[in-house]
Amino acid sequence: MHRATAIAHPNIAFIKYWGHADAALHVPANPSISMVLDCLQTRTTVDFRVLRKDEVIIDGITASPAARTRVSEHLDRVRALAGSDLRARVRSESNFAVGAGLASSASAFAALTLAATTALGLDLPLQQLSALARLGSGSACRSIPGGFVEWMVHPDRSATARSIAPPEHWALCDCIALVSTRHKKVSSIRGHEAAPSSPLHTARVRDATLQAPACRQAIERRNLAALGRIAERDAVMMHAVAMTSAPPIYYWTAETMRVVRAVIEWREAGLPVYYTIDAGPNIHCLCEAAHRDEVQRRLASLPGVEQVLVACPGGGAQLADDHVS
Ligand code: PMV
């Protein structure tokens, strides 16, 4: 039987990956630090058999040719490692909107990598699994380990992701204000490519690299104010780079800005909450567990907010209990 099922969660970055040092190998221009999001998940079954070509079903629908090619190219990497030429039937389901800036490619490629390698009998160490997932989608390498994860760039231009604290280290919450669940128009792949064309890119990469140790320390000390300041600044800088790239990319909408302003007002009035935004219009609001219900309630009452998802630190990619059934 060449079949396995794996589950992985997306992650939210406090210092973002935006632009490459090596595009082909998805080596990022700067180190990044993130948290795995427990209640959002992708569950993927890979079933290798004698087929003419790979078949990919995402959330019950046959994948577009572009998505199928991306999955097939990733399976090719796994086939090359395992010395197999079997094709696969891939079924992937996420319990959240795919392609809306909620890092669905991170959970998707983390789950795909673990399921496909297991199905072909490979038992890769965590570092190798993470490095392989990265080739599918850069940020997927941060969804293989659990909890709070740092993706480091080494002097020899290699890059590895490792857990810096387990999920139970800190009851930090991400209250995600969904202002749109439509598929984003410009993929992060295009964003990474365009980043160096922005005159702000070099400054952001330098700043993100300098801030990484402070970000790690803020997590180690469970210091929300320090973490929040770093996360907000890097998110704004990432989007400033995107907006000043050629061609410019605008992920924010009027609703995004309305939520950002509300978060800043609430904080000034004493509620400890900070925001960050990925490659989409939705706003991730960071707070501690004690303030989660209040933040969720306030976000839900804002005009333009369709839904609020709440996630806590989650574990790394795992095989499903029934993974070979
Ligand atoms: O892994 P990609 O290519 O989808 O890029 C992720 C980009 C951001 O989500 C915006 C930032 C990050 O570090 O997760």
**Chosen CATH of 2-167 out of 3.30.390.50, 3.40.50.300, 3.30.9.30, 3.30.230.10:** 3.30.230.10
Taking the CA of residue 151 as reference, the ligand 1 atom at the shortest distance is: 13
Give the closest residue to 174 by CA, choosing from 59, 266, 292. Answer: 292
Return the ligand 1 atom nearest residue 32 CA.
13
Q: Which of 201, 187, 186, 275 is nearest to 28 (CA)?
A: 201
Parts of the chain belonging to CATH 3.30.70.890: 168-311
Beta carbons within 10 angstroms of residue 183's beta carbon = 13
> Tokens 């280290």 label which residue?
169
The count of other CB atoms within 10 Å of the CB of residue 20 is 18
Ligand 1 close to Cβ of residue 139 (< 6 A)? yes
Domain 168-311 belongs to what topology? Alpha-Beta Plaits (3.30.70)
Task: Determine phi and psi for 317, rounding to 5 degrees.
Answer: -65, 145
Question: In this predicted structure, what is the pLDDT of residue 325?
Answer: 45
Element of type H or E holding 110: helix 104-119
Q: How many angstroms separate the CA atoms of 217 and 232, rounded? A: 16
Give the pTM: 0.96
Structure tokens at 25: 């190998």
**Protein residue with its CA nearest to atom 6 in ligand 1:** 139
Atom of ligand 1 nearest to the CA of 279: 10
Block means of pLDDT (10 residues each) for the chain, 325 residues, are 96 98 95 97 96 96 96 98 97 82 86 98 96 97 98 90 98 96 81 97 98 98 98 98 97 96 98 97 97 98 96 98 64
Domain with CATH 3.30.230.10 in the chain: 2-167
Q: Is the CB of 32 under 6 A from ligand 1?
A: yes
State the Cα–Cα distance between residues 242 and 244, nearest whole angstrom. Answer: 5
Mutation test residue for ligand 1: of 22, 33, 139, 282, the one with most atoms within 8 Å of CB: 139
Q: How far is the CA of 19 from the centre of ligand 1 (A)?
A: 9
Question: How many Cα neighbours within 13 Å face the side chain of 42?
Answer: 36
